[in-house]
Amino acid sequence: AAVNWKWVHYQPVDSMADNLSKSMIKEIEEKSDGQIKFSLFPAGQLGDWMEMSEQMMRGAIQIGILPVSPAYNKALQIRVLPYSVMNWNEAKKAFSGENPFLFEILAKEMDKIGLKALGVVAEGFGGAGFAKVPDFDVVDPDGDKRGLKIRVPSGNQAFESLAKELGFIPASVPWGEIYIALQTGLVDCQIGGQPYNTYSSFLDITKMWVQLNTHFQHSFVYMNKKAWESLSPELQQIVQETTRKYADTSYALAEAEDKKFMEEMEKAGIKIVAPTDEQLEKIASKIRKNTWPIMEEVIGKEIMDNVLTELSALK
Amino acid sequence: MIRSFLWDTLLRAQRIIMLLTICITTAAVFLEVIMRYFFKAPLVGIEELAAYVAFWLYFIGGSYGSYERSHISADLSQLIFKNEVNYAKAHFLSSLISALAILYILPWAYEYVKWGFEMNEQSRSTFLGDSFSVVYFQASILVGLLLMCFYFFVESCQWFKAAFIDREVPQHMLSPREEIDSWIG
Amino acid sequence: MDWIIAGSLLIFACLIFSGVPIPFGFLVSIIFLTITKGIDPGFLLPVGFTSLNSVTLLSMPFFIALGYVVTGGSIARRLLDLANAIAGRIPGGLGIVACVTSAVFGAISGAAASSVIAIGTIMIPEMEKHGYPRGYSAAIISASAVLSTLIPPSITMIMYAFVTSQSVAACFLSTLVPGLLLTVMFSAVNVYLVKTRMPTVQVLPRISLGEKFTLIREKTKPAIGGIILPVIILGGIYGGVMTPTEAAAVAVVYSLFLSFFVYREIPLNKALLFLRSSVTATGTMMLMTFFAAILSRIYAMEQVPQMVSTMLLSLTENKYLLLLLINIFLVFVGMIVDALSGILLVTPLLYPVILKMGIHPIHFAAMIGVNLGMGMLTPPMAGILYMGAKTGKVTVDKMLKPIMIFILTCYVPVIVLTTYWEPLSLFLPRAMGLIR
Ligand code: NA
Ligand code: NA
């Protein structure tokens, strides 16, 4: 019998995730000969990404392109482990290709909470948007940041620690108030998203963008495990191959997007700062030394060691 | 005797929780502001924790509203039913419907809390370096709904008595319950 | 439209009119949809929990507690004394004092009910002493009590911001100018009515400019503590010191400190009582929000907002006509439910169509705010009108004629202006760079 599944994502209509969703949906519907049908709910219509991720566990939503919520398995915080992969080349190797170890580690942890990972959709590298151009070096992690306040995603350990290591004061501001907080000076900077985020949400309020490459921002294409198991092997193959095929195109798209939106920001008069590899390495080694032990407690030593071994093999 | 002791104790317990939760949440957010400005050492995550604690405020407060009969309503029955007995009948019906509707979803709430325990769902935010189990806050929904169901059931009995047995409505039931003159009573 | 969806709305309407509290009207609709649409109930309570788990929404208990503390203390009386010293001696002065004080009080309190109680209790007897008919006094105080929801802070705007994920601070500002405009119009209509229709009203004897100056100075000192409150709240939010939630919490602590240690007028038991009673008010609102969030999620899953949007757009493509339709609908909603349930019920359904029409979300915030604000005065569901009658100890029918005058000469023009002249709501937030 034909199933009608809810497919969700949290990006705006006509964004990369939206277009990928539409392509995947179209091809699966065609190839499955109408046995699988989807209703697409774009732009977080069924809740924010964390909520939709949890709804997928419960089976109220069957499939989507979303980050994975760590609420039921803390190990999934590897997702935001700062300075694990440093550039596009490393990201691509770690999440797709011949030895996609980060994909596999995360897929295994997702399986434990009833989620089937199908592929990784790249979104970009994280950086920081400033409401003013400071007259001092913000990239040097040991430099004095003169009490600049930085908005981090609320209560997120990795970012809170990251902000402190960079020398800023982390602050909690609800998502809806970030724009005004930047405008009024409640905070001086926001961190946690790729150039596209800042371009689409904070363009008018941003004076400087620093591409710190804090972490590799990505979503998974994933689905409810029970829904997955209800499919015949043939249908499973169609879903797996189609989603993987389109997901693998996302790296080039996302890299181009990062570049494009940085250029757009520059056109809009925003100062773009791209730290050199040495500068990034200096930040990364400080973060690895001080933030990773904290993250290890959250994620677990075994997985963390595994990640570290694979990462060093990657370099 | 025993009944009124239990009744009073229940209400007192609710009042204590209500006062505690409003004080804790206010103090937590106030403290965050003070720490940020005077000590430059923000307690990141304390406001998010306060938002979790607020669930007890919301649901114990909401169930106390059932006791006080002060729920938000668009009641036109006072305009329609000039006759007291008909008015009482309408209220018997509406409080019974409320009680039954809550009764119907009590199993949902039970399953929800059970799932929370089994899966050990963690908070979205961290506080002092760690996330925490949210089931202790989700439990407020089950407790709140249980209390509401109880108060609505008691109320429907009172309206039943007024409508079908006494055939007159006691004056005090025509408006929300008077607020007592002390925080605890 | 899907008949099951229409059925769920019909059930909701029937239940709430027969006296089932609004949150449980939502609940029965939820149960009905769960059964008829075969929805797995397992995900419904989590939806409610996640929705309410919000730091933004946490400002609600604080602003409500603040309302209880300032209503219980003497902050309103002190503000009234000052306003009276300034404007009390011109013709129609007391009426002006009533609505200007309501506006200033509105910059402290987020709910209209606190304003009616705090200002009505003092002003209505005072106005009667000077020859104002009780019904009229109760009417002008009820009409201007709504300013509390238009002049920031405002719990209805917090609710709108919550439902649409917009910024609370920006939504607050959208209704400020309409609120100030209403204040001026109420005062003007009041002066006209006093001069032409109320010969009984006495004007206090004139005093010299020097005497007046001394009087104002005398009354300023006791009022300063209260005047600082809006500075803390609005200055805190728009000066980049605090988020709205933080500003609310700080205002609660400050007002307790002021009443308890400085004015020494609220004994400890009372202070605790105000805090504790405010929790009931918050709880009943949040319970309604909880079930409304679940119901709107079911509607979203059944793609009801898209249906409403298609239906409305199929009626007409003309933006002005659509806005007119939406306004008429909002007036109707305002007649039958209170402002908060109105927002919870209407916003998720109309929001997509608003965006499609190219209306700014903050502009729509002002439209909803003014419309549902007026709804607090329009029978049959007219919470603030009834509260005004209760506070002024008059029957509602004595208030109806003056309240209709205020609605027709003040509210209706302001609603039309807010709807069709975008800058009225967007100028301030734009000028401050708070929205795009
Ligand atoms: Na206000
Ligand atoms: Na009304």
Residues in chain C closer than 8 A to B115 (CB atoms): 42
| Residue-level pLDDT at C433 | 84
Which one, of C261, C268, C234, C273, lies nearest residue C250 by Cα? Answer: C234
Inform me whether the C-beta atom of residue B97 falls under 8 Å from chain C C-beta atoms: yes
Which one, of C44, C101, C5, C66, lies nearest residue C247 by Cα? Answer: C66
Judge whether B145 lies within some domain.
yes
Judge whether B138 lies within some domain.
yes
CA dist B124 → A71, A169, B51, C84 (Å): 6, 21, 11, 51
Using CB atoms within 10 A of its CB, is residue A122 exposed (0-12), middle (13-18) or buried (19+)? buried
Q: Give me the count of residues in chain C.
A: 436
Q: Please state, in angstroms and rounded to a whole number, the distance separating the CA atoms of residues C155 and C322.
A: 27
Distance C335 CA to ligand 1 centre (A): 22
Peptide bond preceding A275: is omega within 30 degrees of 0, i.e. cis? no
Structure tokens at C298: 């079911």
| Residue-level pLDDT at C436 | 75
| Cβ distance of C287 and B71 shorter than 8 Å | yes
Percentage of the residues of chain C whose pLDDT score is greater than 70: 100
pLDDT at C1 over 80: no
pTM summary value: 0.94
Give the number of the ligand closest to the Cα of residue C149.
1
Judge whether B107 lies within some domain.
yes
Closest residue, chain B, to C28 (C-alpha) = B101
Q: What are phi and psi of B73, to 5 degrees?
A: -140, 160
Distance C67 CA to ligand 1 centre (A): 10
Contact criterion met (CB below 8 Å) for C56 and C244: yes
Q: DSSP readout, chain A?
A: --EEEEEEE-SPTTSHHHHHHHHHHHHHHHHTTTSEEEEEE-TTTTS-HHHHHHHHHHTSS-EEEEPPP-TT-GGGGGGG-TTSS-SHHHHHHHHSSS--HHHHHHHHHHHHTTEEEEEEEEEEE-EEEESS--SS-SS-TTS--TT-EEE-STT-HHHHHHHHHTTPEEE---GGGHHHHHHHTS-SEEEEE-HHHHHHHHGGG-SEEE----SEEEEEEEEEHHHHHTS-HHHHHHHHHHHHHHHHTHHHHHHHHHHHHHHHHHHTT-EEE---HHHHHHHHHHHHHHTHHHHHHHH-HHHHHHHHHHHHHH-
Strand, helix or coil for residue B130: strand
Which one, of B1, B177, B160, lies nearest residue B85 by Cα? Answer: B160
| Residue-level pLDDT at C35 | 96
Which stretch of A140-154, C19-33, C202-216 has the lowest confidence by average pLDDT? C202-216
Which one, of C223, C108, C148, lies nearest residue C373 by Cα? Answer: C148
- Residue type for position C295: L
Q: Please state, in angstroms and rounded to a whole number, the distance separating the CA atoms of residues C203 and C131.
A: 9
As beta bridge partners, residue A273 has A210
Q: Please state, in angstroms and rounded to a whole number, the distance separating the CA atoms of residues A79 and A81.
A: 6
Contact criterion met (CB below 8 Å) for B61 and B75: no
Which one, of C399, C391, C403, C408, lies nearest residue C133 by Cα? Answer: C399
In the block, which residue shows the tokens 């100018």? C177
Assign C292 a pLDDT band (cuts: 50, 70, 90). Answer: very high
Vertex B61 angle, CA B56 and B63, to 5°: 100
pLDDT at B75 over 80: no
| Residue-level pLDDT at C381 | 83
Residues in chain A closer than 8 A to C161 (CB atoms): 176
Q: Please state, in angstroms and rounded to a whole number, the distance separating the CA atoms of residues C216 and C222.
A: 11
Contact criterion met (CB below 8 Å) for C368 and C160: yes
In chain B, how many domains are there? 1
The predicted complex's ipTM stands at 0.94
CA dist B46 → A276, B19, C286 (Å): 36, 19, 21
Average pLDDT, chain B: 92
Q: Please name the residue ranges forming H helices in C37-87.
A: 44-52, 59-72, 75-87
Residues in chain A closer than 8 A to B134 (CB atoms): 71
Contact criterion met (CB below 8 Å) for C134 and C393: yes
| Cβ distance of B122 and A72 shorter than 8 Å | yes
Q: Rg of chain A's alpha carbons, rounded to an integer?
A: 20
pLDDT at C380 over 70: yes
| Residue-level pLDDT at C317 | 85
Q: Please state, in angstroms and rounded to a whole number, the distance separating the CA atoms of residues A220 and A231.
A: 20
Kindly report the nearest CA distance between residue C216 and chain A, in angstroms.
34
Domain interval for residue B103: 2-174
Q: Please state, in angstroms and rounded to a whole number, the distance separating the CA atoms of residues A93 and C265.
A: 70
Inform me whether the C-beta atom of residue A60 falls under 8 Å from chain B C-beta atoms: no
Assign C50 a pLDDT band (cuts: 50, 70, 90). Answer: very high
Closest residue, chain B, to A291 (C-alpha) = B129
Vertex A106 angle, CA A57 and A310, to 5°: 175
As beta bridge partners, residue A217 has A124
**Cβ atoms < 10 Å from Cβ of B76:** 17
CA dist A176 → A36, B39, C367 (Å): 37, 26, 20
Residue A198 zone, left/alpha/beta (φ > 0; ψ -120 to 50; rest) = alpha
| Residue-level pLDDT at A1 | 64
Query: What's the mean pLDDT in C213-237?
Result: 93
Q: What are phi and psi of A260, to 5 degrees?
A: -60, -45
Give tens-digit pLDDT for B53-71.
999 999 999 999 999 999 9
| Residue-level pLDDT at C57 | 94
pLDDT at C308 over 70: yes
**Cβ atoms < 10 Å from Cβ of C29:** 26
Give tens-digit pLDDT for C344-373.
989 999 999 999 899 999 999 999 999 999
Residues in chain C closer than 8 A to B61 (CB atoms): 279-284, 286
Distance A200 CA to ligand 2 centre (A): 39
Residues in chain B closer than 8 A to C28 (CB atoms): 97, 101
CA dist C202 → A7, B155, C47, C198 (Å): 70, 50, 58, 9
| Cβ distance of A157 and B126 shorter than 8 Å | yes
Percentage of the residues of chain B whose pLDDT score is greater than 70: 98
Q: DSSP readout, A25-49?
A: HHHHHHHTTTSEEEEEE-TTTTS-H
Distance C384 CA to ligand 2 centre (A): 9
Q: Give me the count of residues in chain A.
A: 315
Give tens-digit pLDDT for B80-104.
777 889 989 999 999 999 999 999 9
| Cβ distance of B112 and C277 shorter than 8 Å | no
Contact criterion met (CB below 8 Å) for C394 and C130: no
Kindly report the nearest CA distance between residue B65 and chain A, in angstroms.
29
Q: Interface partners of A (3+ CB pairs, < 8 Å)?
A: B, C
Structure tokens at A159: 């970012």
Task: For the sheet with A149-151, list strands across it.
Answer: A169-171, A149-151, A189-193, A127-130, A208-210, A271-273
Assign B131 a pLDDT band (cuts: 50, 70, 90). Answer: confident
| Residue-level pLDDT at A22 | 97
Q: Please state, in angstroms and rounded to a whole number, the distance separating the CA atoms of residues B104 and B108.
A: 8
pLDDT at C334 over 80: yes
Contact criterion met (CB below 8 Å) for A307 and A84: yes
Structure tokens at B177: 């319950």
Structure tokens at A295: 């993250």
Query: Which residues does chain A have with pLDDT short of 70?
Result: 1, 155
Q: Give me the count of residues in chain B.
A: 185
User: In this structure, what DSSP letter does residue B171 have?
Assistant: G
